[in-house]
A and B are shown apart, each in its own frame.
Chain A
């Protein structure tokens, strides 16, 4: 860390007179170290609780309660928790449900959002800005508050307690942000490109498909901001798809917490399995996620 700061030409812009440079460099080293120190403490505070659960999920019950903050050793290491999760719970089924719901929602949101955003940028008539505004308002709308009518809709269409119900609600919930985001990306596509395609006789679908490679960063951003709220949602699975065969991971883990209060290894294993995929996905796509979050809400 310190060498990092030292090697930086921190005083390069200042006219170098030896007596003035030396104290400033020293101050820079301290300041740089201080910045790292505070961030390290903050990072520990944000990650260590997660690591405690991860670490204890590989221990015996005695190991968990005897020395909760110690790493598993030869005596306390145990995979029984994971074995119990897979043999006693519905974990694989829960995973499958979450995967189906999340992936289908992401695909639907991308397809519908991209088409709508393309049209809102391309085909300007007096009603276009009104439509755009109508969608943008949705970023702020708490769809959860429409739950009572949603139950009625789902019951009357026979979608109650199905994954399809979740997919529709989540797609509706994520579309406004997706459209706002894709609109900003489509705006950046050069007009010349689209006009050239049209002059060459390309239809509107073909013209759209030509611009897709240019907006692929936006598509990745939409996918990554859709993933987290959908995978982690508790409310709609609880209300619209509560039965055992339709449970998502989040709801499954929630019920596991209630059911297996005495099987701590299994409980910690289920919590770990519930968290790991999304943490990894976020780590991989954090750049797109951040772009999506700030461009979507900021504009």
Chain B
């Protein structure tokens, strides 16, 4: 209908405003961050130093110890999310779609999701209050011990965001046509068998999506830790994750000077971690999972 030259003109006209904002405030800053990480700036001048900033990050005794510590903590932060959110979210979604509820589905769905609508500042405070040894339900400083602080913060975050995997799995379960389940029932399958043998394999691609999104969100995490423990998260950096390490590296803190180049380098390393994992996931895992779709 529309001639090709006109198409180019119209495409440009309609896409350009979005493209300009997206490139200027998302794509360019990210790429520029990677670019900056190869420079050493002092005052107004900056010089190309190759991978020196990376070498410094990985080998300088003070920064590298902090970096590996933050990375390790972040892996733990991610794994706790994954191990709790997937099974509990699946249970919630399975119960919501079990066919044993009627009008109450919407109410439960909303109630279970409500924590995800709060800001982390509020979530952190609520839980700090509840687990406060003087005030709350445990007489044990969960946030004060190196061994329990990170799992405690992770579980607070899980409490908040459990609604998201629940919703992904819930909508996937709803999308399964009734006649598939009906057919299995006629063949003599009970609810349990129907769930594990039919529904579960059909929603498998959603697990992949949840895993990768959880990975991206936790490796990009910052807010809950900062809200609870500030930018040098104790006790003794035991709750320091890559996000707080990144903040500290370019803003500085007591015992650490602000360093934009180091900040850009840390950001690039986190970016690379996310990019490589996400790309690998889409190439290797998601393509195989797609084949199960109806």
Q: A residues touching B (Cβ–Cβ < 8 Å)? A: 4-5, 8, 13, 28, 31-32, 35-36, 38-39, 42-43, 45-47, 49-50, 52-53, 65, 68, 108, 111-113, 115-116, 118-120, 122-125, 127-128, 131, 135, 138, 140-150, 153, 168-169, 171-173, 175-176, 179, 195, 198, 204, 228, 231-235, 239, 249-250, 253-254, 257, 267, 271, 274-275, 278-279, 282-283, 286, 290, 293-294, 297-298
Pairs A–B under 8 Å by Cβ, sample size 11? A13-B185, A46-B162, A46-B163, A112-B18, A131-B19, A138-B26, A143-B26, A145-B267, A148-B33, A176-B26, A231-B119
Binding site for A on B (CB under 8 A): 1-2, 4, 7-8, 10-11, 13-15, 17-19, 21-22, 24-30, 32-33, 36, 91-92, 95-96, 98, 100-102, 104, 106, 108-122, 125-127, 129-130, 135-136, 159, 162-164, 167-168, 171, 185, 191, 206, 209, 213, 216, 219-220, 222-223, 226-227, 243, 246, 250-251, 260, 263-264, 267-268, 270-271, 274, 278
Docked-complex contact A275 and B32, CB < 8 angstroms: no
Add 18 more A-B contacts to A169-B26, A204-B10 (CB < 8 A). Answer: A35-B98, A39-B104, A42-B108, A116-B14, A116-B19, A125-B7, A127-B8, A131-B19, A142-B216, A142-B271, A142-B274, A145-B246, A175-B26, A176-B22, A195-B1, A239-B251, A279-B118, A298-B171
Q: Within 8 Å CB of B122, what residues of A?
A: 53, 253, 271, 274-275
Main DSSP-derived SS at the A contact region: helix
CA distance A278 to B117 in the complex (A): 6
When the two chains form the complex, which single residue of B101, B125, B267 contacts A271, counting CB atoms closer than 8 Å? B125
Given A125-B11, A138-B22, A283-B110; A294-B119 close (CB under 8 Å) = no
In the complex the two chains form, is B95's CB within 8 Å of A142's CB? no
Measured between beta carbons, the chain B residues less than 8 angstroms from A274 are 119, 121-122
Which one, A8, A31, A39, A233, contacts B96 given CB within 8 A?
A39
Beta-carbon contact of A234 and B226 below 8 Å: yes
CB distance B25 to A253 under 8 Å? no
A128 touches B112 (CB 8 A): no
Indicate which residue in B102, B104, B167 contacts A293 across the interface (CB closer than 8 Å).
Answer: B167
* Contact of A150 with B29 in the complex, beta carbons under 8 Å: yes
Q: Give Cα A147 to B278, complex, Å.
A: 21
Q: Which 5 A-B pairs have the closest CB atoms?
A: A146-B29, A119-B14, A172-B25, A116-B18, A149-B32
CA A42 to CA B251, docked complex, whole Å? 40
Q: A282 touching B113 by the CB < 8 A rule?
A: yes
